[in-house]
Chain A
Amino acid sequence: MEITVNEKKMVIDNFTTLFELRDQIKPDADVVIINGYQTDTDIKLQEGDKISLIRKGEIPDKSEIKYLMMARHTPGVHDKLQKGFVAIAGLGGLGSNVAVSLARMGIGTIKLIDFDIVEPSNLNRQQYFIHQIGKSKTEALKDTLLNINPYNTYLTENIYITAENAKKTLKGYDVIIEAFDKAKNKAMLINECLKHFPGKCIIGASGVAGVFDTESLKIHKIGKNTYIVGDMVNEARPGCGLMATRVAVAANMQAHLAVRYLLGEI
């Protein structure tokens, strides 16, 4: 029967068990993953099983690493996500966190859009490092994403998005993430996207400030494919700041909606 081991197809005897296979192919493997699940229990292999064998601490060669990174994905997910095109408008507390999660998930093409540079007050919640202060957010984040997962395509554009340039900058993407800071820019982007890209998935956020309960963060659906994440009330203002723990929950709710849309789950 045919199975896949570390993304290479091979034919094995029927009745072979998982651990017998490991002992034949990579006896020093200390992580054994079958169909996305890491296991300590030996089982009989079935036709079509996908197995990853990993020696902890060993850096695999390039041909293997892409697939080993995705070994804990639910089977089939990675292939679909690799075909996805996602644009992220704004790379602050929302956008930088969305980008990191989508890069780890293996979204094939991610466009990063922002006009600003990294500065110290970003670091309480945004995915940048001290040594990146002064760099453009697009380039700083692209560097980080390439270090996390070099097997996706990352495009960047340094631009302040307006009603006039939104269409050109965001054309051709399956999913558009609105991750701006100002209320007017948020509403402008959602309105422009609904006008120009009515069939696309648009995911915005509103009401993510403060240290309020994350239970108040909800998904509000508009029309067919537009989603707004947040409590819709708590804005950033004097006395109510933006905090890593709450903003990142909202960001990952946005990222997860993008994933579910690309998988055809919503």
Chain B
Amino acid sequence: MKIVVNGENHILEESLTIRELIGKFGINTETVVVELNKQIVAKENFGSTKLNDSDKVEIVHFVGGG
């Protein structure tokens, strides 16, 4: 299936959860804010939210410093 992550097309061979997708990018789930089809996904739902064909995901990854 095809999804869009941060504006780029990605092909997934099997359906993933948000948590699994973040893991594929090698990002710590503690440092992200995630939008799925313009809706914020609560952190506690990362593991239970499955991605569907043509979903649009925005992963905002925070880095330290301030």
Contacts and interface: CB of A to CB of B under 8 A. Distances in A.
Query: Bound pair: A and B?
Result: yes
Interface of A: 90, 92-95, 179-184, 186-188, 190-191, 194-195, 198, 204-209, 220, 222-223, 228, 230, 232-237, 242, 247
Nearest 7 pairs of A and B residues by beta carbon: A236-B65, A235-B63, A209-B65, A186-B62, A183-B31, A94-B66, A183-B62
Interface residues of B, number: 18
Interface string B16-52: 0000000000001011110100101011000000000
Contacts of A191: 33, 40, 42-43
Contacts of A220: 60
B62 A187 contact: yes
B33 A222 contact: yes
A179 B62 contact: no
B31 A222 contact: no
A183 B28 CA distance: 10
Contact of B40 (A183, A223, A228, A236): A223
Given A190-B33, A191-B43, A223-B40, A95 B66 contact: yes
B58 A195 contact: no
Contacts of A230: 63
A63 to B, nearest CB: 39
B38 A206 contact: no
Contacts of B32: 187
Nearest to B42: A195
Nearest to A93: B66
A186 B64 CA distance: 8
B61 interface: yes
Nearest to A186: B62
A187 B33 contact: yes
A234 B58 contact: no
B31 A187 contact: yes
B66 A205 contact: yes
Contacts of B60: 190, 206, 220, 222, 228, 232
A222 B58 contact: yes
